[in-house]
Every structure is written in C-alpha cells, then in structure tokens.
Structure 1
Amino acid sequence: MMSRLMLAAALMLAACSGKLERGIVIEDADPAPALAFTAADGQRFDLAAERGKVVMLYFGYTHCPDVCPTTLSDWARAKRALGADTTNIRFVFVSMDPDRDTPELALTYARQFDGAFVGLTGTPLELEDLKKRWSIAAYPEGDPRDGFYTVAHPAHTFVVDRQGRLRVLFQPGVSGEELAQDLRKLF
C-alpha cells in the first residue's frame, strides 16, 4: 500500500528520474491498492483483473469545473495520438462524489471524452475504504445539502503498470501529446 511518505518520496524523486519526460516515476513500486466497483452495466470492474495492461486512474467528480474535464480531454488526445497502441491501456475515471454521481453518470461523463473510457463510483462506504487504501483525500467543500458544492480530490493521474504496480504519477496540465510520449515507454 502506498503511504503518504512514499508519495512524498516519489514526488521528490521526480527530478532524479530520466525515464519519462513528464511522469513522476515511483521506483521500487508496490502493488497498486485494491480498486473494485460495480459498473453501470452491472459488471464488476476490478483493477487486479487488468494485469497485463497499463491503467490510467483519475479520482474526480462529474461536476468538476476545471481539472477533471481538462484531464480527461488530455487523456482523449493521448489516446488519439497513440492510435492502435491503446489496446493495452485502460483509462478509468472514478467519481469521488457519491451524493451526486451514480455509476451511470460516471460512465456517461467518462465516455463523453472517449467511448472506451471507464467511469465508476461506489457507495459512500466503498469510497471511504478506497481513500484509506489509496492514501488519498476527497471531501465536499461547501454544504452538500444545498447541492452547490465542490469536491476536493487528488489532481494527479495515477498509472498502474502491466504488473499491477503503482508506477507513475502525472501532475495536472500534462498535455495529451506528452502523455502519449510517456505512455509509449510504459508498454
């Protein structure tokens, strides 16, 4: 499991890693924490079943005004730049806003950027467990009762390598072309 200390160390090592142009490489990466949710179609998505593929993960929410749509737009540009090379990459958006985002809404949101993107969310209890396992924070800012609130969430894209290890972090603002360039090195 990736601790906050490991994440801080990974961020500090970013300048030391010459393997990728923009990605922050996590050396001696641990297996990615568990992530499994029931998708809108009733099928279970389990990160562990994705071994053999590179998995891009983003934890956000569908009402996000800025970072989430920008990140998924960059993913779509990266996917187009990679062309046929994307058969071994999964792009997975996980909503951290269970009060507004259903599995159907998370899927619809992700697929508006690309038809192959996966959109998921869980129950409040499942998301609390996910936050603990991934050592991330996500919480409403404002009063959720009035429906007008934002959700603080991680801004990084998490990349799980073909062996199921949490291997790379991408900061927000990495262009689709830069993502494609680094993703080619991961598979």
Structure 2
Amino acid sequence: MLSRIAFRSTRKSVVYSARSFGISLRRFNEIPKIPQSGSDSSNPKKRPLSRVAIGSSDSGKKYAENSSIEFASWKAVLLLLVLGGGATYWFSKEKERIRIQKEVDSKRSIGKPLIGGPFSLIDTKGQPFTHKNLVNDNKKFSIIYFGFTHCPDVCPDELDKLGDMLEELKKSKIEMQPIFITCDPARDSPEIVEQYLEDFHPDIIGLTGTYDEVKNCCKKYRVYFSTPADIKPGQDYLVDHSIFFYVMDSEGQFVDVIGREATAAEGVEKIKKQIDAFIPKEEREARKKSKLSFLYK
C-alpha cells in the first residue's frame, strides 16, 4: 500500500516537473530577438533613455544648447554695458554743451549782442570787409585782434601766439578766420598793414579804414583805444588799447574772449570747447520746442 502511494507521488512530481520545463521552454522561445546590425526589421524598438550611453550625440546636443544660452546671456550683458556707457557719455557731453551755450547766451543782451555788431572796413587789397564776412555755412569761427603796426612788443607777442593757436587747431582739422584790425588808421594804411602781417601767420586778414569806421568797429567790440593829444605830423607815438582775442561763431555772434594771460594751449582749448558746443540758432530754437525742451531751459 505504501509503495503505491510513493509511486503515485513520484509520478505526479515527474509530470509537474515536465510541465514546468515545457512552460519555461515556451516562454524562452517567445522572448523577442534583438535584430542584428544590417538586418531588416519593419518595426525596430527604440532603446530606453536610460540605456543611452553618456557622452553620446544626444547629451552633447543638450550641452551645446546650454552653452549657447550662457553665451547669449553674456552677449546681452555686454550689450547692456556698452549701451549704458554710451548713453552716459552722450548725456554728460550734451550737458556740458548746454552749460557752455547758456554761458554764451548770458553774455548777450536780448535782441542785440553785447560784443560785436555791424561794421564796415577794407582789407589789405582795398576790398570791403564787413560783419557779414564773419557769417558762413562751414561753421568756421573767426578770431579778431585789435592792435597797431607800430606796437613795439605786445602786439607782436600776441600775433605770434595767434599763429601758434592756428597751427595747433589745424592739427585737429579746425580752420579759423583770423583777423587783425588796426586801432591806428592814421598811420596804418592797407599797404603798411599787409607788410606788417608778413612777419606773422599767412592766414591773418588785415583790416583798416577811416578813423570813424575804425572807431565805430572798436566801439561795437567794446575795445578801448586812445592816442596822445596834440600829435604833430610825422611824430611817433604809441596807442593805448585793450588786449583781447574775440572769438566769434559762424553766425557772426560773440562767444568768448582770450586774454593776454592765457597761453596758446589754453586758448586752443577754449576755442575747441566753443566749437564743440556750437549749435546753430535754428537748431537751438527747434530744441526748445521739442519733447526734450526741459534740457535746454
């Protein structure tokens, strides 16, 4: 009896083991085979993301995109710094120009300049030269000096300084119209003035005229001059006069003076600042009506 039970149990174990082995064999045969490289597969499965090797093309692409974003950020910061610096420079420069313009305007009276105005003289060739010759469309400034040809020291020194200023300004491509007006028309004829100026800068224009014409011009520029009383014909004498260079803009308006105490270098800097700050009258009027008019009040 016991032997039969043992046999049955043994047979059941063998049958169960055989079935299990069969099921496992079928499952093993059902596992999909990974297609070999070059084999034809109609629907190949993509590898999971976790199986993409580190350093492959996908990760490199992501790294390149991140680098591009960082580079673009730095470019934006750099552009912002450049624009900010440029705006700051423009506003500071414009502020200085406005300050100088206000200073120039304060030297003028309403409707009529305090210094300068209509005059009529002749040059060394006998040609008329008036206040209208100071006006030009080339933004060329004029610089006027009043003296006389018999001046022993002051006038020659100042005219030498004028020549130095003109040469220094030319280095910066700034052309001026230098003018010498005599305070001694009784002795300074056009021929004498021309001969006198040959010792100085060739660009200087010499002007003279009748006593009344010269006196009127000196009065317009607030130039003081006087000759000794009771001068006999042929007698030598000295003329007492103001010693200034008068800087006029291209519209014939007075902008600044350069005194005897100023060096040539200082005079050049003054002229450069005035030229840089110069704004034509029409543009000044237009600015006062613009949206930025508050800057020019």
TM-score scaled by length of structure 2: 0.51
Give the fraction of aligned pairs with identical amino acids, expressed as a percent: 27
- 1:118-141 deviation per Cα after TM superposition (whole angstroms, max 9, x unaligned): 111111121222233333321113
Amino acid of the residue matched to residue 94 of structure 1? Answer: I
- 1:20-70 deviation per Cα after TM superposition (whole angstroms, max 9, x unaligned): xxxx96734344212321212132222222223211111110111222111
Matches within 5 A, 1:96-135: 96-135=183-222
Amino acid of the residue matched to residue 246 of structure 2? Answer: F
- 1:91-148 deviation per Cα after TM superposition (whole angstroms, max 9, x unaligned): 1010111121111222332342111101111111212222333333211136532522
Q: Does 1:157 align with 2:249?
A: no
What is the CA–CA distance in structure 2 between the aligned matches of 1:165 and 1:50, rounded to whole Å? 9
What is the CA–CA distance in structure 2 between the aligned matches of 1:40 and 1:153, rounded to whole Å? 22
Q: Which runs of 5+ in 1 are unaligned?
A: 1-17
Going from structure 1 to structure 2, the CA distance change for 1:135 and 1:79 (only over 3 Å counts) comes to: closer
Structure possessing the higher radius of gyration over alpha carbons: 2
| 8 A contact 1:107–1:120 mirrored in 2 | no
What is the CA–CA distance in structure 2 between the aligned matches of 1:42 and 1:100, rounded to whole Å? 16
Bigger relative contact order, structure 1 or 2 (CA pairs below 8 A, ≥6 apart) = 1
1:166 Cα deviation after fit: 1.3
Q: Which of 167, 171, 186 does residue 259 from structure 2 map onto?
A: 171
Q: Which of 132, 145, 150 does residue 48 from structure 1 map onto?
A: 132
What is the CA–CA distance in structure 2 between the aligned matches of 1:133 and 1:95, rounded to whole Å? 14
| 8 A contact 2:247–2:271 mirrored in 1 | no
What is the CA–CA distance in structure 2 between the aligned matches of 1:25 and 1:172, rounded to whole Å? 20
| 8 A contact 2:228–2:239 mirrored in 1 | yes
| 8 A contact 1:156–1:170 mirrored in 2 | yes
Q: Which runs of 5+ in 2 are unaligned?
A: 1-98, 276-297
Going from structure 1 to structure 2, the CA distance change for 1:144 and 1:173 (only over 3 Å counts) comes to: farther
Amino acid of the residue matched to residue 43 of structure 1? Answer: Q
Amino acid of the residue matched to residue 38 of structure 1? Answer: I
Partner of 2:224: 137
Going from structure 1 to structure 2, the CA distance change for 1:148 and 1:83 (only over 3 Å counts) comes to: same
Partner of 1:27: 106
What is the CA–CA distance in structure 2 between the aligned matches of 1:132 and 1:148, rounded to whole Å? 25
What is the CA–CA distance in structure 2 between the aligned matches of 1:107 and 1:25, rounded to whole Å? 33
- Give the secondary-structure state (helix, strand or coil) at the position aligned to 2:255: strand
- 1:146-184 deviation per Cα after TM superposition (whole angstroms, max 9, x unaligned): 522100111111111222211111111322222112211
Q: Bigger CA drift: 151-160 or 132-141?
A: 132-141
Q: Bigger CA drift: 93-102 or 51-60?
A: 51-60
Going from structure 1 to structure 2, the CA distance change for 1:150 and 1:45 (only over 3 Å counts) comes to: same
Aligned length: 165
What is the CA–CA distance in structure 1 between the aligned matches of 2:249 and 2:152, rounded to whole Å? 29
Amino acid of the residue matched to residue 154 of structure 1? Answer: S
| 8 A contact 2:119–2:213 mirrored in 1 | no
Matches within 5 A, 1:63-78: 63-78=150-165
Amino acid of the residue matched to residue 141 of structure 1? Answer: P
TM-score scaled by length of structure 1: 0.77
